[in-house]
Amino acid sequence: MATPDPTDPPLWHALDSEQALARLQSGAGGLSRSEAERRLAEHGPNRLPEQRGRSAWRRFLSQFNNVLIYVLLAAAAVTGVFGHYADTGVILGVVVINALIGFIQEGKAERALDAIRQMLSQQATVLRDGHRTVVPAEAVVPGDLVIVQSGDRVPADLRLIHVHNLQVDEAALTGESVPVEKSVSPAAPEAAIGDRSSMAFSGTLVTYGQATGLIVATGASTEIGRISALIAGVKKLTTPLLRQIDRFGRALSAIILVLALATGLVGILARGFSVDEMFLAAVGLAVAAIPEGLPAIISITLAIGVQRMAGRNAIIRRLPAVETLGSVSVICTDKTGTLTRNEMTAQEVATADALFEVGGVGYDPHGAFSLSGEEIDPAHGHPGLLELCRAALLCNDASLHREGDHYHLQGDPTEGALVALAMKAGLDPRLVSEEYPRTDVIPFESEHRFMATLHHDHAGHAFIIVKGAPERILEACTEQRSDGQDIPLNIDSWHRRAEAMAARGQRLLAVAFKAVPAETTSLRFEDATAGLTLIGFVGLIDPPRDEAITAVARCLSAGIQVKMITGDHAITAGAIAGQMGIPAERVLTGRDLEAMDADTLRRAALDASVFARASPEDKLRLVEALQAEGRVVAMTGDGVNDAPALRRANVGVAMGINGTEAAKEAAEMVLADDNFASITHAVEEGRTVYDNIRKSLMFILPTNGGQAFTIIGAVLLGSVLPITPLQILWVNMVTAVTLALALAFEPAESDVMRRPPRNPREPLLYRFLLWRILFVSAVLVAGTFGLFLWERAQGTGIEEARTIAVNTLVMFEVFYLFTTRFLWAPAYTIDGLFGSRYVLLAIALVLTLQMLFTYAPPMQVLFGTVAIDLETWSRILPIAFSVFILVELEKVIVRRWRGASE
C-alpha cells in the first residue's frame, strides 16, 4: 500500500502526534528496514533537486550579447575592410577585455541552490525496527522517527512527538532572533511558520534539549525545499543601465546606418563624388560616430565603483549592480541582524516600586541604570532592583567570556542578557554563585515555561528562585516584593505593565522567589508553582544598531523608502521600526498579505512600511508588487528565507558575517560588516557611478558627433575630408582611454545624496544630453572644419591642414573635459581646474601622444601627418578654448533656469 503523500498533507502542525503517526502509518518503534527501503524508492532521496548551471564557455560568450558590443564589432569589421588590421586588433582587444571583466565578476553566480544544499544535515539518528540507527540524511523517509539533540541539524521536516527542553534556532528560515521553544501540542491551523511550535524544519539547528520527531516531508517537499524552488523559479531582472545601453545601441546603430547611406547618396547624386570616394567617406563617418571606447569606459567605471564600495564594506558580486544601486528607490530590509545587533539586551526592569531603564547593548556588561531619566546606583536605595538582578543571575545557566574588548556568550541568549544585566548592577557571577550555591534545579521545559533553582546561603537560609513567562509566573504568585516587604499581589497592575512593555517591542521575563525550610535539599514541581513572591519583570529586546538609525535617516533624506519585512511578531517589528525612524503607523502581517489580491497588495506595499510574520512567499510578493509600481528595489537579508526575494530584487544585499551562504549566493552585494549603514554608502557610490557614466557619455557622444558632422559637412560642401578615417580612429581611441577614462575616477558631487532617486525609465539620451550633443558638436564642427577650410584657403597642403584639424579636435576635447567634470556646477574654480589628478594625468598623456602623432616620423608615415609650428598652435589653442567658455555660459543659463523653475 502506498504511503500517504506528505506533499498533499493535512496541516501537520495542527494534528496531534497520534494523528500524525496514524496518517503516515508509523508507530513507537519507527519503520521497519524493508518499509523504509520501499518508501525511499517511492519518495526518492532526501535531497534538493540540482539544476545544471551554464558552462564557463557559455557564460563567457554571453558577455558579447550586447548591442553596443555588436556596434563595436562592426567598427572592427570596418577598420578591417579599410585595411588597418592593427586598429582592428585594438578594437577586438577592447571587446575581449570588456567580456573578461563581466565573466570574472559573474564567475561565482547562480549557486544559491548549492549553498542551501550545504545547510542540510549529513546524517540522522532514526528508529528502525525499534532500534536506534544512524543513516545518511539522504536515506530518511516520511514516517521515520528521528532523534535530535543539541548541536544537531534537523534532517527533514518533523512533527514533534516527544520533546525535552527543545529549542531550535530558526533564524535562517523565519528571521526569529532567538531560539524557538518547541512543544508537542498542536499549533493553530492558520499559524505562520514561525508559530508552528509543534514542528522542526529541515536545515534548522537544535540549540538546546532533545526530541523525537516524525518525518512528514523530505527533499523538495520540505519548507527549505520549497524556498529553493522559489529561488529557481524567480526570474532575474536586468538592470536599468543594461536596458538603456541596449536601447541606445540599437538606436545608435540605426542612426549611423541612415547617416552613412544618406551622406553617401548626397555625395554621389548632388556633389558628383565617385562611389569609391563616398564609400571611404561612409567608412569615415561610421568610425567617427561609433564610440569605440564606450563599453570599456562603462565597464571600467563600474569596476572602479566596485573597488570603492569594497573599501566601504560593500562587496559587489555582479558588476551591473553598482549602477543599479544609484537608482534604488526602496530598500526592503530584514530586522534581525540587519537593523538590529542580533544580541538580546535587557532594556527595562520593572519592580513593584519603579520602572528602571538599562543602558548598554548586547552582552557587553557596561551600562548604567536610570530612573525617570536620572542615573542611579542599584546598590544604594533600590533593594528591589538589586534583588531582581541577583535572582536573575542565580537562576541562570549562561556565562559570558571576555576576549579582548568583546564578550562572547556561552548558553541561551536570553540568559546571557540577564548575566550582563547583573554585571551592570555590579554583581560578580562567580562570587554570587559562591555566596548562594545552587542545591537543585528544575530545568526549563517548554510545557511548563519556567526554570527554578534551589539555593542555600552560608547563614543557613534556603530559597527558591523561579523565572519564566510572565503569565505562568503570575498565576503562581500570591505576593509581590515592595520596599523590601512582601505585600499582596496587585495582578491588574502587573498586567498593565506587561502590556506597556510588550508594546515597546520587549520580550518579558518574570522573576519570583520563595523562602523554604533550611533543610530543603531537593525541588519538587509543586514547590515552584504556588506561593511565590514576585520580584519583577525584565524587558528584553534585540536592540537596533545606532549606525543603522542614522543610515535609515540618510536614505529617507535621499528619497529612498525603507520597509522592514521580518518574520518577527508585529508588536516587536512595529516597536523596532519606530526606534529606527521607519513609519510604523500601519503594521501588516503575512496573514494580512495572504488575504490581499494583486491590486490591494500593490497599494499596501507602497503605503505600509512594516511587514511582520512574513513568509518567503510574502517577501517575494512584496518585492514584485513594488517593482510592478515602477520602484527599483534593494532587498537586504541574511537567511535562507530571504534568498528568493534577494534574487528577485533589483539589488539583493546579503549579510557577510551572519548571513547564510544561500543568501550570499542569491545576492548581488554582500555587506562585509553586516551593517545597514554600508548600504547608504553603497547607494552613494552607485549614484556617483551613474553620474560618472553620464559624464562619460556627455564627453564621448558630443566629441564623436563633432567628428561625424565634420565629415557630413565636408560632403555637403563638396570638400575633401578634413580628417581621414584612420585619424578619426586615432582620436577616438586615444581620447577614450585617457580623457574619457579620467571621468570614471570623479568623486561624488556634494548634492548626490540630496537628490531623489533617478527615474529608471529616464532614457540614456535624455533631453539635456541631446541638446549638449548638438551644441558641442556644432562648436567642434565650426572650429575644426572652419580652421581646416581657412588653412586650405591660405594654401596649406592637405596633410598639414588635416594635421591641424586633428590637433584642433583633440584640444577641443581637452578643454571640454574640464567643464564636463561637473554636470551643473561651474568648472572655473581651483577644484574644477586642478582638483582631479586623474584629469591632469590624462591630459598630460594625451598631449604627449599628440606630440608623437604630430612630430614622430613613424607616426607621420602611418597617419599622414606633418609637423606644425608654434604660430599654428597659437591659432589652434584659442579656437579650442572657446568650447570651455561656451559650455560654462550654457551652465549659467541652465542653473538660473532650474533655480527659477524650483
Query: Quick one: DSSP state of residue 340?
Result: B
How far apart CA 559 and CA 555 sit, in angstroms, is 6
Q: How far apart are CA 815 and CA 704, in angstroms?
A: 15
CA 876/CA 169 separation, integer angstroms: 73
DSSP one-letter code for 14: G
Is 87 an active-site residue?
Answer: no
Q: Which of 334, 568, 638, 642 is catalytic?
A: 334
Query: 763: which residues sit within 8 A by CB, 6+ positions away?
Result: 244, 247
| Burial of 597 per CB tally in 10 Å (0-12, 13-18, 19+) | exposed
Three-state DSSP class for residue 231: helix
Q: Which residue has the cell 588590421?
A: 85
Helix (H) or strand (E) holding 746: none
d(CA 469, CA 183): 15
Give me 813's grid cell: 576635447
Count CB-CB contacts under 10 A for residue 573. Answer: 27
Residue 595 to residues 270, 629, 644, 778: CA-CA distances in angstroms? 71, 20, 21, 60
Phi then psi for 534, rounded to 5 degrees?
Answer: -75, 130
Cell reading at 555: 536614505
Cβ 98 vs Cβ 69: under 8 Å? yes
Q: Which of 445, 446, 447, 453 is nearest to 418 (CA)?
A: 453
Q: How far from chain centre, in Å, is Cα 357? A: 34
Show the DSSP H helices in 290-409 as ranges: 294-310, 321-325, 383-394
Measured CA to CA, the distance from residue 868 to residue 885 in angstroms comes to 26
Residue 12's H or E segment, with its range, is: none
Name the residue among 567, 712, 684 with its Cα closest to residue 260. Answer: 712
CA distance 536 to 349: 7
Q: In the chain, helix, strand, coil percent, each to 5?
A: 50, 20, 30
| CB proximity list for 245: less than 8 A, separation 6 or greater | 66, 67, 68, 298, 764
Q: What is the DSSP string of 599-614?
A: HHHHHHHHH--EEES-
Q: What is the CA radius of gyration of the chain?
A: 36
Residues 6+ apart with CB under 8 A from 243: none
Specify the 3-state DSSP secondary structure of 584.
coil
Instruction: Give the 3-state secondary structure of residue 155.
Output: coil
Please name every residue paired with 147 in a beta bridge, in sequence order, or none if there are none: 125, 212
Query: Maximum CA pair distance of the chain?
Result: 123
Q: Which residues pair with 206 in a beta bridge?
A: 168
Helix axes 677-717, 767-793, angle to 10 degrees: 40
**C-alpha to C-alpha distance for 313 and 671, rounded to whole angstroms:** 6
Residue with cell 558580486: 317
**Which residues are within 8 A (CB) of 107 and not within 5 positions of it... i.e. 6 or more apart?**
56, 59
User: Rounded to a whole number, what is the distance in angstroms from the first to the last CA of the chain?
Assistant: 77
Q: Output phi, psi for 758, to 5 deg.
A: -70, 150
Q: Which of 78, 276, 9, 268 is nearest to 726 (CA)?
A: 78
Could you give the CA distance from residue 782 to residue 817 in angstroms, rounded to a whole number?
A: 18
Residues serving a catalytic function are 334
